[in-house]
Structure 1
């Protein structure tokens, strides 16, 4: 039996990552796809979610966005990643399955101090809820603590056989500790402990300074012409 699902295509709009470019998205509008099992399948096809919207870049003349996932069972940290792990041994990692009131003030500090030149400034509760609340899949909230102080939270989707990194925010005073990288390393570690295959990191965009860091976790796979290709640098 063949099952058909409804997808939509947005109109072109200015690209958020490459100046002078336009982007458009393929959107999974069929609500039958809005559950963890189907979302896991869609992620294998290069989709991501933002809130309750599931999408994939569908640009006519550009293939800059490459879906990337880390092979967590065979991951080996680089020398710099090992140094970071050693340096941050003082921090405690706690995995929560419930959002906590302390998260939003930390997020607000993060956006208003570190990303005050970006499209998410100023921080708002509505914006915060767009990635911490959804009707598609459950989440982990990977907390990093320095003593009694919450210094970072990595919002992580739970999908079959994988985790998906959604968004990480941290205290501005701890910027020098590389908490974004540290959080990804801990997400890889947790995914491996859960015996998952992958940690999805979203789209690697080599030409964009803010989006060209995801290929530093090896080995990983990128989706090229609907085929996953393994990269082991």
Structure 2
């Protein structure tokens, strides 16, 4: 804002839309300064100033800032199989299985209670949190079989997965740090150089479902996304039949 004022020696509210756009064009073309970050913050500052001043027309005329799309890390099917087999304990295998098989965020899995499971309907209820929406996600028969065995032998209380009990003897739910530790302990066993986290399994869930033919709107609901734009990112990752991706080397010697 201050740089814009100094550039024209006039207050921003007295500048025309053309003046502002010319200055922003000038910012983009400079090689050394200001940086791209400076360009973005100039627009954010102008938007805030014009909003306070009630100058909506000038605010709307400002260019849109496009977010850089960072494609997620995704495991292939064999890597998922190896990761599911890696843990020594059934509980840990089920935690990894729920992250991949249900596409849950770490904090959502920590919050799952025994009462949220419906083995007959093969679903698990995920209550809304942090502005998200309530949803039901499918529960695989493979998970149901393992969960029934785990519940019978471990007898969890309240939450599906318990952590250490409190000093008063009360059962506590699994923590995100606990999930992080389980992933860290087992990712080195599968022979992959990928940076695997709990959220990698959610990305893999979404990508594999797209490749199996699930439509983007249904996927949005399964993931609990508030906006479809968040879900569209997975279209850049999935190998979809309608637009199969291949290397030109595959055709070079045909």
TM-score (ref. length: structure 2): 0.27
Give the structure with the larger strand fraction. 1
Query: Of the two, which has the highest radius of gyration?
Result: 2
**In proportion to residue count, which structure has more helix?**
2
Which has the higher relative contact order, 1 or 2, with Cα contacts under 8 A spaced 6 or more apart? 1
User: Normalising to structure 1: TM-score of the pair?
Assistant: 0.29
